[in-house]
Structure 1
Amino acid sequence: MTGRRRLPYAVVRRIVQVLQRPGLGGPLPIRAQRKYLELLATGPPAPAGTRTERITIGGVPGLRVSVGTPASGEPLVHLHGGAYTVGSPKVYRNLAANLAEITGRRVYVPGYRLAPEHPYPAALDDAVAVCRQVAERYGGYALSGDSAGGGLAAATALRLAGSDAAPARLGLIAPWVDLTVVPPASKADIVVRPAWGQASAAAYCGTHDRFEPGISPIFGDLSALPPTLVHVGRDEVLREQCERFVRQASRAGADIRLTVLPRLWHVAHLQADLLPEAYDVLVDLGRFLAGQPSP
C-alpha cells in the first residue's frame, strides 16, 4: 500500500467524470483515444517493488506484473476493458500491480487485438491462447476482467470449460455479457456512454450473431462457469445485465456471487490508488481470485 494517495470521494469522482471520458468514446479519433488513456495511466505511482515485464505468451504481447517476490501459486490473468476498441496492458499496469500486491501472485495482462482493425473472434482467440499457455506453464490460474474484458473473460471461461486450461476462479468487474442490447443513457453513470457502446459493439461483432456465447456469454452454458465473483456499481448502466447474468448462472447451478457497490462507478477499481473505497473492493476481488479468505 506504499505510495497510495487518499483523496476525497467527490474529488476522485469528478476526476473520473472529467478526465477519463474523453478516452472512452469522446470526440477524439479512436487511435487518439487509445493514446490518451495510456497518457492518463502515467499518473499515480505503482506500489513499491513493482516489476513490469514485457512478454509474449500464447503469441500475444502483454505485461507480466509482480510486486516483490511472487508466491509459487497460480498466477492471475486479467483482461482489460475498453469496449473491445480501446484499452491496453499499459492502462491497466497499476490495477495489475495492486492485484499482485494484494495476492502475492504474478498478474498477466494480455494486449489482445482490438476492433475495428480486428473484429470478433480475434480478442477471444487471443484470450484463449494466453490462458492455455499460462495453464500449461503454471498448472492453473485465475481469470478476471472488467467491462468488455469481463465479458471476454466469461466467454473465455466458457470456451475453456472442461479442459485442462479452464480457470480455477473467475472475477468479473461490471462485465459486458450481453451485446444484443445497449442500455439507455443514465445521468448516474459517469463513465459509460451508450452511443459509444453501440458503435463499439458494431465494430467488434461485424456480421457475427450477437447471440453467440463467444460474443454475449450470457447465452452460453452458464453451468460450466468456475466459482465466480461479480462486482457492479449500483448506478451504472450495465447493472441490469450483470444481475441477469448472475441469476441465470445461479439457476444453472453455477457457484456465483454478486456484490453491488452502492457508491462506486463503472470499474472504479482503476482508482484504487486514489480512493480507499476502491482499493477495498479490489482487495475483495484479489482475495477471491487467490482463494484467500476475505479480511
Structure 2
Amino acid sequence: MSADRDAAPFVRRRELSPEAIAYKSRRRPSVPIGMPDLADHAAVANWRTATNALWGEDDDPVVPHHREVIGGIPCLVASSAMEARSFLAAEAPTVVYAHGGGYVLGSAAVAIPITARLAASGLRVVSVDYRQPPEHPFPAALDDVLAVYFALAADDSPMALAGDSSGGALALSAAIIAVAEGVPPAAVALFSPLLDHVSVPGNPTADDEGRRLIDCYTGDADPADPRLSPLRAELDGLPPVLVQAGADEPLAAQAFEFRRRAAAPRATGTEVTLDLWDGMWHTWHYHALPEADEALAAAAGFLAAFL
C-alpha cells in the first residue's frame, strides 16, 4: 500500500520555500558516516558520537535546555523564555519527547531543533536520553520513556507524548501502555513515525542500513510485538493523535494505515489527524526551514489544545 496522495484533507500541498528548495538541492545521506559492525560496541559508540556531532548537539540560545534526571533517566528539559521556576512547576503542561535516529543514533541534544520550537509555545518539553542498542536492545528505550512518563504523571500534571521516526514508535507504544495502566496522555504528536517493525508496505526494508539499525534494537524479540510495532497494537482508548509525515516518504504508508486502523469501529473511534506534506522528506522538522517552523507550530498548537 502507498499513501493516497489524492486524499485531500490529508495532503498539504504548497509551494516549497526557497530554503527547502536549496536544502533539497544539496541534501546528503541522512547518515553521513559509514556504519560499523553493530556487534562492535566500542565502534558503535564512536560512530554515534561522531554522527551526532555532525548532526549537531548545540543548545538553542533562545530556548535553552538543562539536564535533569527524572525517574532515574537522564533527560534534557526545555526551559523556554519563561521564568524557570514557574515553567518547571508541576502544573506546567508537559510533553515527554522521544528522539529518532534508528534507536542506535541520535540523542536528546540532537533533537533540540524540535524540542526548542515545541517549548517556545510555553510547553514543558522533557526529552528522554534513553538507553540505546547494541548495549541496550528492546525494551530498554521504551522502558526509559515509560519511566520518565510515569514519574512525571505522578504529579498529576497535564501530560502528552511526542517523538520522531523511531522515537515515534516509542511515543505511541508508551501512550498505548499508559492508557492500559490508567494514566493516559492528553494527546500524542508523531513526526515521520516508524510504526511497524515487520516487513509491511511502507517499512524501509529496502534500505539495508535502516533495516540493520531496526534489527539492532529488536534483537531477539518478535518484530510483531505490539510494544515494538504499535501499528499492530489494540488502539482502544487512545487520546487524539497528530501524525505529520512527508507525502512521499516510505513511512507515510504506515501513517495512513494507522489512521485507517484507528478509525475502524473496533478502535472506538480514536481521533487521528493525518497531515502529509507534499514535497517534504523524512523528519524535515529538524531543519531551519519555514516548513519545519510551520509544522512544529501546528503540532504545539495541537498538543496545547488538549493540555
Do Structure 1 and Structure 2 share a fold, with TM-score over 0.5? yes
Counterpart secondary structure, 1:176 = coil
Deviation at 1:13, TM superposition (A): 2.4
Task: Select 2:233's aligned residue among 196, 220, 223.
Answer: 220
Number of positions where the alignment pairs a residue of Structure 1 with one of Structure 2: 276
Counterpart secondary structure, 2:186 = coil
Question: Which AA in structure 1 matches 2:217?
Answer: Y
Query: Hey, what does 2:303 align to over in structure 1?
Result: 289
> Structure 2 vs 1, CA of residues 193 and 173 (structure 1 numbering), >3 Å: closer, same or farther?
farther
Q: Retained in 2: the 8 A contact 1:131–1:165?
A: no
Query: Hey, what does 1:201 align to over in structure 2?
Result: 214
- Does 2:22 align with 1:11? yes
Question: Which AA in structure 2 matches 1:281?
Answer: A
Q: Retained in 1: the 8 A contact 2:93–2:159?
A: yes
Task: Select 2:255's aligned residue among 213, 238, 242.
Answer: 242
Counterpart secondary structure, 1:8 = helix
Q: Retained in 1: the 8 A contact 2:19–2:290?
A: no
Give deviations 1:194-236, integer Å, cap 9, x for gaps.
Answer: 2122112221111211111101011111123211011110111
C-alpha separation in 1, matches of 2:49 and 2:22: 24
Deviation at 1:14, TM superposition (A): 4.0
Query: Hey, what does 1:68 align to over in structure 2?
Result: 81
Task: Select 1:261's aligned residue among 268, 277, 291.
Answer: 277
- Does 2:138 align with 1:120? yes
Question: Which AA in structure 1 matches 2:112?
Answer: R
Task: Select 1:280's aligned residue among 284, 294, 300.
Answer: 294
Deviation at 1:244, TM superposition (A): 0.8
- Does 2:126 align with 1:108? yes
Give deviations 1:140-167, integer Å, cap 9, x for gaps.
Answer: 3111011100011111111111435321
C-alpha separation in 1, matches of 2:236 and 2:306: 23
Task: Select 2:197's aligned residue among 161, 164, 179.
Answer: 179
C-alpha separation in 2, matches of 1:66 and 1:11: 32
Query: Hey, what does 1:189 align to over in structure 2?
Result: none
Deviation at 1:46, TM superposition (A): 2.2
> Structure 2 vs 1, CA of residues 44 and 18 (structure 1 numbering), >3 Å: closer, same or farther?
farther
Give deviations 1:105-149, integer Å, cap 9, x for gaps.
Answer: 211001111111111111111111110011113523111011100
Q: Retained in 2: the 8 A contact 1:136–1:165?
A: no
- Structure 2 gap segments, 5+ residues each: 1-16, 37-42
Identity of aligned residues (%): 34
After the TM superposition, which residues 17-36 of structure 1 pair with which residues of structure 2 at under 5 Å, given as runs? 17-18=27-28, 20-22=30-32, 26-27=34-35, 30-36=44-50
Counterpart secondary structure, 1:21 = coil
- Structure 1 gap segments, 5+ residues each: 1-5, 187-191
C-alpha separation in 2, matches of 1:285 and 1:193: 30
C-alpha separation in 2, matches of 1:108 and 1:43: 16
Question: Which AA in structure 1 matches 2:278?
Answer: P
Q: Retained in 2: the 8 A contact 1:95–1:270?
A: yes
Give deviations 1:209-268, integer Å, cap 9, x for gaps.
Answer: 111110101111112321101111011111111111111011122111101110211010
Pairwise CA RMSD of aligned residues? 2.5
Q: Retained in 2: the 8 A contact 1:140–1:165?
A: no
C-alpha separation in 2, matches of 1:7 and 1:35: 32
C-alpha separation in 1, matches of 2:57 and 2:163: 22
C-alpha separation in 1, matches of 2:140 and 2:58: 32
> Structure 2 vs 1, CA of residues 108 and 197 (structure 1 numbering), >3 Å: closer, same or farther?
same
C-alpha separation in 2, matches of 1:145 and 1:287: 16
Q: Retained in 2: the 8 A contact 1:141–1:168?
A: yes
C-alpha separation in 1, matches of 2:139 and 2:254: 22
Q: Retained in 1: the 8 A contact 2:186–2:240?
A: yes
Deviation at 1:288, TM superposition (A): 0.6
Deviation at 1:185, TM superposition (A): 9.5
Deviation at 1:193, TM superposition (A): 7.2
